[in-house]
Homo-oligomer: A and B are copies of this chain.
Amino acid sequence: MKAALDYATQNADAFVDQLKDLLRIPSISTDSAYNADTRRAADWLADDFRKIGIPNVDVMETGGHPIVYAEIGSDPDKPTVLVYGHYDVQPPDPLELWDSPPFEPVEKDGIIYARGSCDDKGQAFMHVKAAEAYLETTGELPVNLKFMIEGEEESGSVNLVPFIEKHKELLKADVVLISDTSLFAPGVPSITYGLRGLAYVEVTLTGPARDLHSGVYGGGIENPVNALCKMIADLHDENHHVTVEGFYDAVRALSNEEREGFRALPFDEAAWLEEAGAPATKTEDGFSTLEGITARPTLDVNGIWGGYIGKGAKTVLPSQANAKISCRLVPDQTPGDITEKLRRHFEKHVPDTMTLDFKDLHGGHGAIVDTKAPAMKAAAEAMEAVFGQPPYFTREGGSIPVVADFKRLLGLDSVLMGFGLDSDAIHSPNEHFGIDRFHQGIEASIRFLDAYSRQ
């Protein structure tokens, strides 16, 4: 491993130059005008895998953009690590807010500015360079290594699940390694061990058959907006708990150890609140803000509309009221179960003056990984060696659906070892990635593969 680490240090600048080449390819998966560029990024990666001496490389077709697969080693005595990442990027719009062109990487004060620099070309490429460091020095890896770099993450990964289902044998591994998340704070190492899932529904209440005159009908016909507001208000009790029957049944309770872990995190709540721009926080009774945003389920209205929403006053008694409502889920809640519970709740409480239309829009499973699993220990060891302090184990409030897919389809846990920062402006203008973090990621990957082989 020492030789690999030295190689990475010696080739640090070359690695950055190579990354810049990859960043120059506008692989915007959601815009078909960039289909050729997106494929070019896949081919570029496949070429790089071949250059570093991986014999088994394939640009595999899907119904959409291809998946770059690479594999080295099949030693039955070694564990197998599957690295997941994505080579596609978000559209760069609004272009006028970029300080430099999104696909012409600019290095400034040790930071690379370019679309995809952090999400996820920069982070996925760290693992390619870690493999190179081993192959160019010791000539072999401490583990069997598989890469699966997809090209549709920013457009919904629509072909990913079918691909995994079709290639279960090919993708067999002991653990998945993903770098597509963030450090807890600059210089503060962390490993994400929990993600929330999602149940997203849309409800429409219909009262009268058309918009009515509020003077002529008001007082005799119930207003669907008022009624929907009441139904939404009743979804939380005075302690901000969700009132949907059975909502918390499957929630895995936080252990004392986990809660201690949350308390130990250097979470600057005042700074966090200021960044969000709200006058005060609000969390369900009995839980801290950090627990509330990462380890507890939620229910939020994402959008509401009904009646007259133009300028001025129109005296309409609306025919319909609509809301998009979603729940963030925690293990072991499932989107199917929670959606059904929401449906039953709404059906039970719809007034007799209204009809209800309830739509299941979207769902995703949460995920949680045992922090004492061998791969997690290996990741912690690697991170501590890189940063000089043990990593925090954290949970994230958002969702990475592929993590649940790997668990569900392949039985694999994922190690989420991310080197982004919340301030990296992913999905926004002036996306960037610290070159120091790029190198820390390569080092951590080298150290993880070694540590995991010894577990």
> Which A residues are closer than 8 A to B by beta carbons?
196, 198, 200, 207-210, 212-223, 225-226, 228-230, 232-236, 272, 276-284, 289-290, 292-294, 296-310, 312-319, 321-324, 326, 328, 351-355, 361-362, 396-399
Kindly state the separation between the CA atoms of A207 and B226 in the bound complex, as whole angstroms. 21
B397 touches A217 (CB 8 A): yes
- Could you write out 8 A-B pairs with CB less than 8 Å apart? A219-B292, A219-B294, A225-B232, A278-B354, A282-B351, A303-B306, A303-B307, A308-B324
A290: nearest residue on chain B (CB-CB)?
A: B220
Given contacts A225-B301, A226-B301, A280-B353, contact A218 B328 (CB under 8 A): yes
Q: Give A228 to B103 CA distance when docked, in angstroms.
A: 42
A305 near B309 with CB under 8 A, answer yes
A213 and B422 alpha carbons, distance in the complex (Å): 12
Copies in the complex: 2
Query: How far, in angstroms, from A252 to B281 measured CA to CA in the complex?
Result: 44
How far does the alpha carbon of A299 sit from the alpha carbon of B229 in the complex, in Å?
13
Q: Which of A281, A282, A293 has the most CB of B within 10 A?
A: A282
Q: Which residues of B contact A232 (CB under 8 A)?
A: 225-226, 229-230, 233
Q: How close is A292's CB to chain B, nearest CB, in angstroms?
A: 4
CB A309 to nearest CB in B, in angstroms, measures 4
Q: Do B229 and A215 have beta carbons less than 8 Å apart?
A: no
For A209, the chain B residues whose CB sits under 8 A away are: 276-278
Q: In the complex, which residues of chain B have a beta carbon less than 8 angstroms from the beta carbon of A234?
A: 233
Set of chain B residues within 8 Å of A396, measured between Cβ atoms: 215-216
Q: Which residues of B contact A355 (CB under 8 A)?
A: 279
Whole-angstrom distance between the alpha carbons of A293 and B299 in the complex? 36
Known contacts A219-B297, A229-B233, then 15 further A-B pairs from the complex at CB < 8 Å, ordered by chain A residue:
A214-B326, A218-B298, A219-B397, A220-B276, A220-B289, A226-B232, A226-B300, A229-B232, A230-B236, A280-B353, A281-B353, A301-B318, A303-B307, A304-B307, A305-B306
B214 x A302 contact (CB < 8 A): yes
C-alpha gap A280/B207 in the complex (Å): 9
Q: How far is the CA of A361 from the CA of B276 in the complex (A)?
A: 31
Q: Which of B213, B220, B277, B309 contacts A210 (CB 8 A)?
A: B277
Q: Which residues of B contact A229 (CB under 8 A)?
A: 228-230, 232-233, 301, 304
Structural contact, B313 and A276, CB atoms closer than 8 A: no
Q: Which residues does chain B contribute within 8 Å of A219, judged by CB atoms?
A: 283-284, 292-294, 296-298, 328, 397
The 3 closest A-B pairs by CB, nearest first: A209-B277, A215-B398, A219-B292
Contacts of A293 on B, CB cut-off 8 Å?
Answer: 216-220
Given contacts A209-B277, A232-B226, contact A215 B399 (CB under 8 A): yes
Q: How far is the CA of A4 from the CA of B45 in the complex (A)?
A: 98
In angstroms, Cα B214 to Cα A399, docked, is 10
Please, how many angstroms separate the alpha-carbon atoms of A301 and B212 in the complex? 12
